[in-house]
Amino acid sequence: MFFGFTLFAQNNSTDLTPLAGIWENSNRIISVNEDNTLQFVLKTFYGFYFDKAAVLNASLDSGENGETILRVKYPSERKPQAHPIGVINNKLFLDFYCRSYIETDGPDSEGSETLSNTSPLYGYWRCCGNVKGIEIAVPYTKPELTCYYFTDSEVYFLRYWQADVPYERETVDVNDGEFSFKVDKLLKVGDIVYTCVVGRGTFVRNFEKTTYTINGDSVTFGTEPEKQYPLYRSHDNSLLAFSEPYIVRSEIADLDAAIAEHNSHTHNPLKNPMEVFNRKTAWEEKLEKMTIN
């Protein structure tokens, strides 16, 4: 398992200081500045050229589930757009889950989860991410989300879909023979409301379940090898992710200097143009050495 620190916006603070620094992935660099702006640098032409694309204003906010929301102001939009984020060990996730305790007298209460069950994943994990990227364009929000409920040996998959209804904190029942538990009827992720039942329904009609196993830093759903996923958990076990991070903290210290150095590289001249098929260029050698930890 990967343990790290959970980042939450506290006291309705809008300051970007907790995220300040340079983050990157294979196709972009995002510099989070202390003046509450985001500098986007795109790695264009297969990473050959770093392009300073845009600077957008941003702020931090807290979501309904306690998750951190990065709100980015786009010129075309009146309101800042919500990007729910989870940070674990200097890795920023857009697909992540928050541990949630539903008030109940059953086996999913906080006390019994902590004392009676052996799996570190046991209980209800609420989906808290619904965007696919942090980009210079308005984000695409997912039409459907999946929440999880883990027992010691099985996992339940609970589907939620977008709904044009007012958000209220309500619960519904999930009944599986003699075993039952409660989950949220509605989710508010960013500014979008999702539901898992139709109308005034009080229990989840359709759900899926399978077995799962934890294998160190990964988890496998069922018995199929292709359903093995990375497993990231925050140090306090409040955040969970089953995917690789969207961006990670970069080793770049001076962004302008890094861009200038990267863009200064050119192709090695070739006396015979046909040699391009049997020798490596300076760019190919550089790309082979480029790694993101």
Domain count, the chain: 1
pLDDT for 278: 65
pLDDT for the residue 11: 42
Main-chain dihedrals φ then ψ at residue 230, nearest 5 degrees: -65, 155
Domain assignment of residue 36, yes or no: yes
Residue 9 lies in a domain: no
**So what's the pLDDT on residue 64?**
87
Task: For residue 4, tell me if it sits in a domain.
Answer: no
pLDDT at 293: 52
Structure tokens at 225: 């090898």
CA distance 253 to 256: 9
Q: Which pLDDT score is estimated for 265?
A: 82
Domain assignment of residue 5, yes or no: no
Rounded CA-CA distance 103/110 in Å is 8
Q: Is residue 122 part of a domain?
A: yes
Domain membership flag for residue 126 = yes
3-class secondary structure, 137: coil
Coil, strand or helix at 47: helix
Supply the DSSP symbol for 284: H
User: What pLDDT score was predicted for residue 110?
Assistant: 46
Q: What is the CA radius of gyration of the chain?
A: 22
pLDDT of residue 272: 65
Whether 153 is in a domain gets the answer: yes
Tell me which residues of the chain have a pLDDT lower than 70: 1-13, 103-116, 267-283, 286, 291-293
> Domain span at residue 114?
17-289
In a domain, 63, yes or no: yes
